[in-house]
Amino acid sequence: MHWTDYSVALDLHLYFYTLRDIISWALEQGLKYYYSNPLNYEPKLHLDCELVPLDLYVMHTSPLLNPLFRRLIKYLGPTRHDPVLQRFPNADQL
């Protein structure tokens, strides 16, 4: 298997098995919340997960460009362009 070949992992549903094991472990430890990374939105949507809003703060190294950068940054965020994210029930909070 080549490192970039995900077909085996997808065929075997390894994402779901891994997530199941992580959640089982968290429940055994008495944890009430589990926060995951911002990847693989499609499986998380099917598992009825919710999105957690995240604030990002960015500044350019040149203070002269920051006013322009401040206006443009809202159009560069990945949450604006991912169609799967818009299908989450709390997508309006992003």
pLDDT of residue 27: 93
Which domain, by its residues, includes 83? 52-94
Whether residue 29 lies inside any domain: the answer is no
pLDDT of residue 29: 95
Q: Which of 29, 26, 23, 25 is nearest to 47 (CA)?
A: 23
pLDDT in tens, 12-61: 888 888 888 998 999 999 998 888 887 778 888 888 888 888 776 778 88
pLDDT of residue 48: 87
Whether residue 31 lies inside any domain: the answer is no
Whether residue 22 lies inside any domain: the answer is no
pLDDT in tens, 71-94: 887 777 666 778 888 899 888 887
Task: Count structural domains, the chain.
Answer: 1
Instruction: Give the global pTM.
Output: 0.58
Whether residue 28 lies inside any domain: the answer is no
Whether residue 15 lies inside any domain: the answer is no
Sign of CA dihedral 7, 12, 18, 20: positive
Whether residue 83 lies inside any domain: the answer is yes
